[in-house]
Amino acid sequence: MKILFIPKVFPHSRIVGGPIIIYNRIKHLSANHEIHLLAFIKEEQKQYINTVGKFCKKLEYVPYPPKRGIAGNIFDFFFSSRPNYMIQEYSKKMEQKVSEMVSKENYDVVISEFTMMAQYLYKNKFIPKTTKKVMSVHECYTVARLKIMKKKPLSWDAVKAFFYYIRLRPYEFKMYADADLVLTLTPEGREEILHYKKDLPVKIVPHGVDIDYFDLKDRKPERNSIMFLGNFGHLPNVDGIEYFYEEILPMIRKEIPDVKLFIVGQNPNQKIMDFAEKGKVIVTGFVDSVKPYFDRSKISVVPIRLGGGFRGKALEAMSCGLPLVSTALGAEGIQGKDGEHFLIADKPEEFAAKVCQVLTDNNLYQKLSENGRKLMEDKYSWQQGVKKLESTLKELITE
């Protein structure tokens, strides 16, 4: 197959979230198929071009569109045909480049990665009828806005989510209806989309993990150490670490005073930076590799309350042998059992109690560590995940 990927984020093998998913899809599909990539890129990301470029027959990139101010967002809300959430990622140059490539290259499949990139496929008259349009949904934005309004009803975030939602819902599902196939990362994500439009062609292609890289051989966990990993440019991660630090960590400290917290990931805001306490809370910002922090941490926490999709950080932690304590939403899509492969807690006091239990009960610690790693080996290697994607795409182009 000849496949064009159009991602929102530039693919990278070590950056948490979407970049890892897209990188591994490209890497593993390139063994048997011709891959082209057209991506947004920031100046500092150009150092990664060769990392993914070696798997691509053709690689093109476009600068990220500039951020729009408050006045621009207000104007867009009233006068643009696109929702604000789509305009944030809209680039005339990207639109022209997509149209140029799809009209010249005779692709079997074009895949937009992330919902906002689907706007470049939606009603694009330059895409031949022989080319299948696939929209890969990492998170349904309509559903994500509803979760914010429900979880934080009196907040400014909820106000913004409401105004996004008004314009976003009809546009988002019109885009999906224009696709030949919609991909989700989890069964829950599929059901959320079908709840709004039952006749959409939606299939599940799960996240994977590099089980050879995220292994146990370098583990030297520090005493009573906890790790939270995330890109803090994403609201669910900001909400998650604030929730953990403010509501859960104080209860843990009452039982385990010397507990240590690693907050790892790019784009921490000033409030998160101020969580840092010498020897007790370490806020790293961007790191070249998260693996050393998995190796130093005894357990991983995913106290996520907002958003949707698959948390690759949960898979990476379990692959490294870290017991996982998570909300039900944070572990969404993982085919394991509460109490066997991870621990689930949706209330602050319950979450704190389970963290303390894992840190103090060595038998439970070993059980979760071993079972979590085995689950990753059995079901979540990237080879297995991309094999599912490959068979799904082959089936699509032969229909």
- Indicate the pLDDT class of residue 72, thresholds 50, 70 and 90: low
- To the nearest 10°, the Cα dihedral for 385, 389, 395, 399? 150
Q: Is the separation of the CB atoms in 311 and 230 below 8 Å?
A: no
- In the chain the domains, ranked by start, together with CATH numbers, are 2-208+382-397 (3.40.50.2000), 225-379 (3.40.50.2000)
Global pTM reads 0.85
- Which has more confidence, 3 or 159? 3
How far is 322 from 294, CA to CA, in rounded Å?
7
How far is 240 from 382, CA to CA, in rounded Å?
27
Give the per-residue pLDDT at 177.
96
How far is 377 from 9, CA to CA, in rounded Å?
27
pLDDT tens-digit series, residues 95-148: 999 999 999 999 999 999 999 999 999 999 999 999 999 999 998 888 888 888
- Indicate the pLDDT class of residue 76, thresholds 50, 70 and 90: low
Give all strands of the β-sheet with 343-344 in edge-to-edge order. 281-285, 260-264, 225-229, 299-302, 324-326, 343-344
Q: Is the separation of the CB atoms in 310 and 205 below 8 Å?
A: no
Mean pLDDT of 215-244: 95
Ordered DSSP codes for 337-373: -BTTTBEE--SHHHHHHHHHHHHH-HHHHHHHHHHHH
Pairing of strands 181-184, 299-302: unpaired
DSSP 47: G
* Sign of the C-alpha dihedral computed for residues 64, 66, 68 and 69 taken in this order: positive
pLDDT tens-digit series, residues 26-41: 999 999 999 999 999 9
pLDDT at 345 over 70: yes
How far is 87 from 9, CA to CA, in rounded Å?
16
> DSSP alpha helices (H): ranges in the chain?
18-29, 49-53, 70-79, 84-87, 92-105, 141-151, 156-177, 187-196, 235-243, 249-255, 270-273, 291-296, 312-319, 348-360, 362-379, 382-397
- To the nearest 10°, the Cα dihedral for 347, 351, 357, 360? -150
- Indicate the pLDDT class of residue 179, thresholds 50, 70 and 90: very high
Return the half-sphere exposure (C-beta side, CA atoms, 13 A cut-off) of residue 301: 33
Contacts of 370 (CB under 8 A, 6+ apart): 321
Ordered DSSP codes for 21-43: HHHHHHHHHTTTSEEEEEEEE-G
Q: Is the separation of the CB atoms in 20 and 291 below 8 Å?
A: no
How far is 195 from 203, CA to CA, in rounded Å?
14
DSSP 247: I
Contacts of 187 (CB under 8 A, 6+ apart): 204, 333
136 to each of 5, 9, 79, how far by Cα in Å? 10, 13, 28
DSSP 332: T
